[in-house]
């Protein structure tokens, strides 16, 4: 089961939204006496997702270099060019996991959408391939459609995604 470490300002409701899991499911698998009282550093089990430490893959995203690096057991196996968030819509720095996916989501999201454990953010394809390499999105990570399809075919839900400024 995936584990979320509570950050300052989070609530169980916000965590359930980030992971796209019903609050009732989260409450059912965690021994929380008062759902209105959680604290930074507390570990919350997230049902329906594997423990990220059991997955050999990880994704590291460099916003400055506009690169997504796929690793298997710590070894780089592929590097992809990406587009990132533009000014006022920066891609959020932090540690996330892939929580679900949607093939052919339509519109500007290209051939695949990989939801991150931060509501409204994901890794996705694009209907504008000329945007790759630029800071143009509303915070998501854009990839060429063939690249996001390849990535999605390799990494399961629960895969760690580390987004860094550099």
**pLDDT 10s digits, 56-111:** 999 999 999 999 999 999 999 999 999 999 999 999 999 999 999 999 998 899 99
Active site residues: 124, 140
Which tokens go with 85?
């968030």
Which tokens go with 9?
């300002």
Per-residue pLDDT, averaged over 2-30, amounts to 95
Distance of CA 97 to the CA centre of its chain: 4
Spatial contact of 64 and 110, defined as CB atoms under 8 Å apart: no
Per-residue pLDDT, averaged over 15-36, amounts to 92
How far is 106 from 9, CA to CA, in rounded Å?
33
Query: Mean pLDDT of all residues in the chain?
Result: 96
48 torsion bin: left (phi>0), alpha (psi -120 to 50), beta (else) = left
How far is 54 from 40, CA to CA, in rounded Å?
24
Residue 31 pLDDT class (50, 70, 90 cuts): confident
Sheet holding 57-62: strands in order across?
A: 75-81, 67-72, 57-62, 160-164, 94-103, 112-116, 122-124, 141-142
The model carries a pTM of 0.93
Residue position matching structure tokens 């570990």: 43
């Amino acid at each position: 089961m995936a584990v979320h470490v509570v950050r300052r300002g989070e609530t169980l409701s916000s965590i359930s939204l980030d992971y796209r899991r019903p609050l009732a499911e989260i409450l059912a698998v965690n021994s929380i006496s008062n759902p209105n009282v959680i604290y930074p550093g507390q570990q919350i089990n997230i049902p329906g997702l594997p423990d990220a430490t059991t997955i050999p893959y990880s994704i590291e995203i460099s916003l400055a270099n506009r690169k997504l690096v796929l690793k298997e057991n710590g070894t780089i196996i592929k590097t992809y060019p990406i587009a990132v968030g533009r000014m006022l819509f920066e891609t959020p720095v932090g540690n996330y996991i892939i929580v679900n996916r949607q093939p052919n989501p339509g519109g500007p999201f290209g051939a695949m959408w990989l939801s991150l454990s931060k509501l409204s953010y994901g890794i996705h394809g694009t209907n504008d391939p000329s945007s790759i390499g630029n800071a143009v999105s509303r915070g998501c990570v854009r990839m060429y459609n063939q690249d996001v399809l390849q990535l999605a075919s390799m990494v399961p839900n629960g895969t760690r995604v580390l987004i860094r400024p550099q």
